[in-house]
Amino acid sequence: MPSRSAPAPAPQVLEEIAFQKAMVARLRREIGDVDRTSRRGYIKEFHSSIGRYQAPASWDDLVIACYRADLVYIGDYHALPSAQETAARLIQAIAERSRAVVLGVEMVYGRHQRLLDRYMNGELDELAFLRAIRYESDWGYDWAAFRTVYDVARRHHIPVVGLDCPPRTGFRHIRRRDRYAAERIAGMIASAPGARAVVLFGESHLAPAHLPKQVTKLLKRHGLEKRVVTVVQNLEEIYWQMSEAGHAGSEAARLGDDVYCHFSAGPIAKYEAYRRTIELWKGEDESQDDPVDLTSTVHGIIDMILRFLKIDPYTRRLQAPGRGRDLIVDLYPDIHSGLEPDEVRVLFRNARLPEEDAAEVLDHLERSGSCYVPRLNAIFLGEFSLVHAGEEAAHFVNQLLKGEIYEAVPRALPQHDLFYSAVLEEALGFFGSKIVDPSRNHFFENEFYQYYRKDRETIEKHTPYKFDEFNEIIDFVLLHKKFEHSYEHYGEVPQPLLDGIRSDPRRVNVLVHELGYFLGQQLHDAYRMGLVDRADMLALFRASFRRSGSALAAYLDLSRKVAPALKGGLTPAGSG
């Protein structure tokens, strides 16, 4: 159990937790209107028996615990792709440290084992396999995420065993499914006595009295006793307990001697993924060629950000350029997902906007996967990402609150003003994504910081940059952080910074992105430390930098205010 002498969480942390819980409760109510499974006793048994937060844990802790075990249960939240990606990553780590591994999966029925064997052996292509097991109708979750598990198994020559049986719908037969899966798991282990067994199954089945109890009972009949470790994922009750204990940034938590919880997403991201999956299922009769409508998802995120800023979009009115005083909810942007380039160009032509603007948006989509266009008041999304949707939702809120949606022409300002204004917008976009998923960490996800100080071959193999270009970008960020830490000691802006700000558009976009995300990470850390509050954030979202020099001044003042939150990333030389 956490130490009783641990300091009480800061008020800002409790405020953020309360906000997150309210948003999760709202999502769960929406989900509950369609799916009432969370009210079932079977689900409640899982949440009441899986354990409580004891201590933070690292990825290495998980891997070591799994290496020491004979049987590893990995809990899956089917609607969340990062859950399958984490499972694939953990299976790979286990395989790299084991003489032999065998994997059991819930996704495939036992009666389809021959089809699964043929797929794993390359005798059946992916499309034929999915059709043969009736993937869409009998499972229906994102195949791209589950594919990562099979790719790892194939790469490491891991036999894969289907564990489930029909019917999957409802709870009437769920314990019968556990008994069936237990028989398959026991047989899988008995037939490969020297192998480490891994089971990937829905999280609720992994309560000690559910599937694991059935397996233990059957193994005893075979005269087998196995060391067991259970790894569950993204449990919100553990997430809250960790946050309250001051360990919100930890990758995992220990819940007992043989139980761990790994985090790849925050609670809002988890339930939003489920809500979106339900929407996809509800629209399954529509043409499969139609792009997925993400309007309700993105508008829900906009609601979250506005409510964080204590703005009710259903009662507050704002003046938008060329319009009357509208309710904020009536100003929400159009959401376009999965559009072809020609469709984007048509939208711009119909709005009488220049062709080069459409080209710029298409380039941005290719680089970043998402884009908010204030003049159209539209968000464009490529491949869906919840954090990218959060960024663009925050960009919309920023432009809305400073009264700059539907602006006829861009502001005519010097390059350095446009640069720092864009950096501040990027920072607010990243902050908005942290409202949706506080577990996001720029320094861990970004290729620059992963490959900092690596050799030329590694950098040019794993990043889109040449070695010299990569180091110039890093040098710019380091020098800029040093400059902003003690700018009053500089007689003028250092020339390398001016050169970067005035460089080619591609380089400028990279520098804006890096400085903006860096500041956005600091802003969120500063909020949790009490250095800024919601009123400060509201003022930032409203700030408009139409006067030359105002954006740089605001950036420098803000960077000084949040300087104590500079952690986890690159520390500028001489900053202390």
- More confident: 164 or 473: 164
Angle between helices 355-368 and 341-350 (to 10 degrees): 140
CA distance 490 to 494: 8
- Cα separation, 240 vs 182, in Å, equals 32
The DSSP code sequence of 10-41 is: PHHHHHHHHHHHHHHHHHHHHHHTT--GGGSH
- The confidence band for 37, taking pLDDT boundaries of 50, 70 and 90, is low
Partners of 16 in the β-ladder? none
What is the average pLDDT across 47-59?
A: 92
Please state whether the predicted TM-score (pTM) of the whole model is above 0.85.
no
Q: 394, 440 in Cβ contact below 8 A?
A: no
Cα 78 to its chain centre, rounded Å, is 15
- Residue 178, C-beta contacts closer than 8 angstroms, at least 6 positions apart: 205, 210, 211, 214
Least confident of 243-257, 314-328, 444-458, 545-559: 444-458
The confidence score (pLDDT) of residue 296 equals 84
What are the tens digits of pLDDT across the range 508-539? 888 998 899 989 999 998 998 889 999 999 99
Range with top average pLDDT, 110-114, 304-308, 338-342: 110-114
Average of per-residue pLDDT across 216-239 = 93
- Residue 82 or 436, more confident: 82
Average pLDDT taken over every residue of the chain = 87
Average pLDDT (428-450) is: 75
Contact by Cβ (8 Å): 72, 199: yes
d(CA 382, CA 366): 8
pLDDT band at 130 (very low <50, low <70, confident <90, very high): very high
Of the pLDDT bands very low, low, confident and very high (cuts 50, 70, 90), residue 565 is confident
DSSP 176-244: HHHHHHHHHHHHHHHH-TTSEEEEEEEGGGGSTTTHHHHHHHHHHHTT----EEEEEE--HHHHHHHHH
pLDDT of 494 higher than 90: no
The kind and range of the H/E element at 254 are: strand 252-256
Amino acid at 319: Q
Q: Which tops the pLDDT comparison, 82 or 481? A: 82
What is the DSSP secondary-structure string of 435-448?
HH-TT--HHHH-HH
3-state secondary structure of 409: coil
Give the number of C-alpha atoms closer than 13 A to the C-alpha of residue 53, restricted to the C-beta side.
26
pLDDT-based confidence at residue 309 (cuts at 50, 70, 90): very high
Position 85 confidence tier, pLDDT thresholds 50, 70, 90: very high
Render pLDDT for 369-382 as a digit per residue (tens, 0 to 9). Answer: 899 999 899 999 98
Q: Where are the beta strands (DSSP E) in 313-361?
A: 317-319, 325-327, 334-337
Where residue 452 falls (left for φ over 0; alpha for ψ -120 to 50; beta otherwise) is beta
Q: What is the pLDDT of residue 11?
A: 82
Q: According to the model, what pLDDT value does residue 576 have?
A: 30
Rounded to whole angstroms, the Cα distance separating 573 from 576 reads 8
The mean pLDDT of 171-187, rounded to a whole number, is: 92
Q: Which of 127, 123, 126, 104 is nearest to 114 (CA)?
A: 123
Q: How confident is the model at residue 573 (pLDDT cuts 50, 70, 90)?
A: very low
Is residue 569 pLDDT above 50, yes or no? no
Residues recorded for the chain: 576
Q: What is the pLDDT of residue 157?
A: 96
pLDDT interval class at 1 (50, 70, 90): very low
Residue whose pair of structure tokens reads 């009295």 in the numeric block: 209
- The band of 572, judged by pLDDT with boundaries at 50, 70 and 90, is very low
Query: For residue 449, what pLDDT is reported?
Result: 63
- What per-residue confidence (pLDDT) applies to 570? 47
